[in-house]
């Protein structure tokens, strides 16, 4: 059954005590699904934009690493607000990790962590590897961080690594993983958010024209998932999808204003989630447009 037909299933997940329980209940309901179906149908089933973000994030991780365990995971790359390999200090040597990652999404609920680490020999240009570590193992410690204004139901942590044993993934850490993940995250989080918005449109009887525009955007996202995340054409397509979504700002504001005040307040609080990486996304788009001579 296609994701479009499955959008007619309107039942929300019951509220759970933890992110772990929420995600486990979602997987049990959905059964075997593709990452795109996980994002869209999972976003439709949860109660808030923050939980939709988490579902889209998990879907992106499974595109990045198809062998990922079914449980919650996270990617840990940023250090001091930078992703540049030359700026990173976390080091890999003999399958042992040392360093720190400053921002881990849902770290206290994660069952596994993908960590980007420098792995070049002395005197060589910076080179990244991506490795897997498991919270609770020796040398792996997660420090809780204060809640942020956006999506307060999603925790964040700082990761400390002290001679931690790890498993190394095949391929270059930057080209195969860190670089494409930013586009994957943008796409699958948007897909999950559109799923959540579509569920809101059904729950509260939004105008059919707005519902159809949401479905049309989901169709564009479905096409974008078929593209190579790091290709110039993919960046242009993704840029087009985000422009279409931006054009819905006014109709969405009106729809939320006409509904429950509590839901409108949640949207006002979390709607900025999709603009967090807009600067980096615009740079990728500008480069893609130049490459394709559009």
Residue 277 has what pLDDT?
A: 77
Residue 267 has what pLDDT?
A: 96
Residues 6+ positions from 66 with CB-CB distance below 8 Å: none
Residue for token pair 């729809």 = 255
Our CA angle for 285, 54, 196, nearest 5°, is: 85
Residue 148 has what pLDDT?
A: 86
Residue for token pair 């995250």 = 185
Residue 33 has what pLDDT?
A: 93
Residue 292 has what pLDDT?
A: 83
Give the residue-averaged pLDDT of 174-186: 95
| Percent of the chain predicted with pLDDT > 70 | 99
Distance of alpha carbon 54 from alpha carbon 29, whole angstroms: 17
List the one residue out of 17, 216, 279, 67 whose CA is nearest residue 224: 216
CB 75 within 8 A of CB 114: yes
Residue for token pair 């990486």 = 277
Provide the strand spans (E) within 122-202: 128-133, 140-144, 156-165, 167-168
Q: Tell me the per-residue pLDDT of 64-102, one tens digit each, with 9 for 90 and over.
A: 999 999 999 999 999 988 889 999 999 999 999 999 999
**Structure confidence at residue 21 as a pLDDT band (50, 70, 90):** very high
Give the residue-averaged pLDDT of 246-262: 96
Q: Residue 1: is its pLDDT beyond 70? A: no
Residue 11 has what pLDDT?
A: 80
Q: Residue 189: is its pLDDT beyond 90? A: yes
Identify the CATH class of 73-168. mainly beta
Residue for token pair 């519902």 = 211
Q: Any idea where the domains of the chain sit in the sequence?
A: 3-64+176-292, 73-168
Q: Tell me the per-residue pLDDT of 111-166, one tens digit each, with 9 for 90 and over.
A: 999 999 999 988 899 999 999 999 999 999 999 999 888 899 999 999 999 999 99
Tokens of 166: 């790890």
Q: Tell me the per-residue pLDDT of 39-69, one tens digit each, with 9 for 90 and over.
A: 999 999 999 999 999 999 999 999 999 999 9
Range with the lowest mean pLDDT among 17-26, 61-70, 165-174, 268-277?
A: 268-277
Residue 96 has what pLDDT?
A: 97
Give the residue-averaged pLDDT of 161-186: 96
Reading phi first (left if > 0) and then psi (alpha if -120 to 50, else beta), residue 96 is in beta
pTM of the model: 0.95
CB 2 within 8 A of CB 40: no
Q: Residue 24: is its pLDDT beyond 80? A: yes
Give the residue-averaged pLDDT of 253-261: 96
Q: Which burial class, exposed, middle or buried, applies to 195 when counting CB atoms under 10 A from its CB (0-12, 13-18, 19+)? A: buried
Who has greater pLDDT, 168 or 17?
A: 168
Q: Tell me the per-residue pLDDT of 191-245, one tens digit each, with 9 for 90 and over.
A: 999 999 999 999 999 999 999 999 999 999 999 999 988 889 999 999 999 999 9
Residue 293 has what pLDDT?
A: 77
């Amino acid at each position: 059954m296609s994701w479009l037909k499955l959008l007619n299933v309107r039942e929300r997940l019951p509220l759970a005590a933890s992110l772990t329980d929420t995600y486990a209940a979602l997987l049990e309901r959905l059964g075997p699904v593709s990452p795109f179906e996980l994002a869209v149908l999972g976003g439709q089933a949860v109660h808030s934009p923050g939980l939709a973000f988490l579902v889209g994030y998990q879907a992106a991780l499974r595109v990045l690493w198809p062998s990922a365990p079914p449980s919650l995971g996270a990617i840990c790359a940023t250090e001091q607000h930078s992703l540049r390999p030359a700026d990173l200090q976390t080091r890999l040597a003999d399958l042992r990790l040392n360093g720190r990652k400053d921002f881990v999404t849902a770290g206290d609920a994660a069952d596994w962590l993908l960590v980007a680490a420098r792995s070049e020999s002395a005197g060589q240009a910076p080179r990244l590897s991506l490795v897997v570590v498991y919270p609770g193992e020796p040398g792996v410690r997660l420090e809780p961080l204060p809640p942020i204004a956006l999506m307060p139901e999603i925790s964040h942590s700082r990761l400390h690594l002290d001679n931690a044993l790890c498993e190394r993934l095949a391929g270059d850490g930057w080209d195969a993983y860190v670089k494409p993940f930013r586009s994957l995250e943008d796409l699958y989080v948007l897909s999950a958010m559109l799923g959540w918005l579509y569920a809101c449109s059904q729950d509260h009887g939004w105008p059919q024209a707005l519902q159809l525009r949401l479905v049309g955007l989901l169709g564009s996202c479905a096409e974008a998932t078929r593209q190579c995340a790091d290709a110039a054409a993919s960046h242009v397509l993704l840029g087009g999808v985000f422009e279409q979504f931006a054009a819905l700002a006014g109709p969405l504001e009106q729809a939320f204003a006409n509904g429950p005040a509590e839901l409108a307040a949640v949207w006002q609080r979390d709607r900025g989630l999709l603009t967090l990486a807009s600067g980096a996304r615009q740079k990728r788009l500008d480069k893609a447009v130049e490459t394709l001579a559009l």
